[in-house]
Homo-oligomer: A and B are copies of this chain.
């Protein structure tokens, strides 16, 4: 059950909507804490303060809820990206803003990363089962990024010939791992990566990396 649909339904908020939403929220929390295999239907409904039967009524089964959770998080991200407006900023500033947005979004939505990790464990098999809907959610960020690179090249701020996909992966990588693996990395480096200082330091560092990489002065790239 994707979010969009819900908003296009009857305005009259039937109880079902409430229930459906409560279970979805609880499911996301549970899946992000325990993975798909470790999640239990019972804990989900308890968290949602709903009856076990309701989950089956609204989502068919555990997998149905899991897929709905994934879809919901994708959708939510898409909506957030769609609200981004970088046009008023200079290309370098816009690029920094994009990095900061990505960083902040991951930080504030760790369930998204958890579910993505879980989904990769399963080689995205659940995603495939719903792909039309999720595919339909073409990334606004990719479009934004493409436009921005073009604008920067024209303005002379950025080098030309840079692959948008690569820049997308670059930014994602730099934001993702730090957030997603902060527990094992903190252990590995014997220092708390979750402290405000550590986070601020990293954000500045990666902004610089991206901007330097794209800046027109010198160096070849792909």
Q: Mark A151-184, 1 if CB is under 8 A from B, else 0.
A: 0000000000001011011101110111011111
In the complex, the answer to whether A116 meets B181 with C-beta atoms within 8 Å is yes
**Contacting residues, chain B, for A39 (C-beta < 8 A):** 37
- A170's partner among B139, B169, B174 (CB-CB below 8 A) is B174
* B-side contacts of A37, CB under 8 Å: 34-35, 37-39
Assuming A201-B222, A205-B166, A205-B221, is B121 touching A34 (CB within 8 A)? yes
Copies of this chain, count: 4
**Chain B residues near A149 (CB-CB < 8 A):** none
A181 to B220, CA, bound (A): 27
Q: How many residues of A contact B (CB 8 A)?
A: 63
Q: Contact at B220–A183, with CB atoms within 8 Å?
A: no
- Residues 106-120 of chain A: 1 if any B CB is under 8 Å from the residue's CB, otherwise 0? 000000001011111
Interface hits, A180-194 → B, CB 8 Å: 180-191
Question: Is B222 a contact of A205 with CB atoms below 8 Å?
Answer: yes
Are A183 and B123 in contact (CB-based, < 8 A)? yes
B213 near A127 (CB under 8 angstroms)? no
A124-B184, A205-B221, A208-B222 known, 4 other contacts, Cβ within 8 Å = A34-B121, A36-B38, A165-B191, A169-B177
